[in-house]
């Protein structure tokens, strides 16, 4: 999609369509990424982690700290964490990675990484 935008085959509004709630989370609790936005190239991306699974809200749970993610990681249920990178300026977003969480995994994981 980025290449199609750069070639002029897609308009910016076609690739920069992040949900307002994602942008709010990125702005207020997201962690700063090391790379800049591939669309506007002017601003740093922000990382936001959402966790989905049993006994969590249907819309998932936005995790803001490593401590909170580690607590979810200690649960016996199998959960899934989705790390999304987003630009709060142009509203571009991308699913960066999907991670297993829960089942009492002993390893520690960092929020938004």
* pLDDT tens-place string over residues 28-71: 999 999 999 999 988 889 999 999 999 999 989 999 998 999 99
β pairing state of 93-102 and 61-63: unpaired
Of 2-6, 35-39, 94-98, give the lowest mean pLDDT range.
2-6
- The DSSP element (H or E) to which 63 belongs, if any, is strand 61-63
Regarding pTM above 0.75, the answer is: yes
Determine the pLDDT at residue 43: 86
Asked if 30 and 46 count as a contact pair (C-beta separation under 8 A), the reply is yes
Helices (H) and strands (E) in the chain, counts: 4, 5
Q: 3-state class of 68 per DSSP? A: helix
């Amino acid at each position: 999609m980025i290449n199609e935008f750069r070639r002029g085959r897609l308009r910016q509004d076609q690739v920069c369509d992040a949900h307002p709630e994602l942008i709010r989370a990125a702005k207020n609790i997201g962690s700063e990424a090391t790379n800049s936005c591939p669309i506007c190239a002017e601003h740093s991306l922000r990382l936001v982690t959402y966790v989905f699974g049993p006994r969590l809200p249907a819309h998932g749970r936005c995790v803001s700290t490593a401590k909170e993610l580690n607590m979810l990681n200690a649960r016996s249920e199998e959960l899934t964490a989705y790390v999304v990178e987003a630009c709060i300026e142009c509203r571009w977003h991308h699913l960066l990675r999907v991670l297993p969480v829960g089942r009492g995994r002993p390893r520690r994981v960092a929020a938004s990484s």
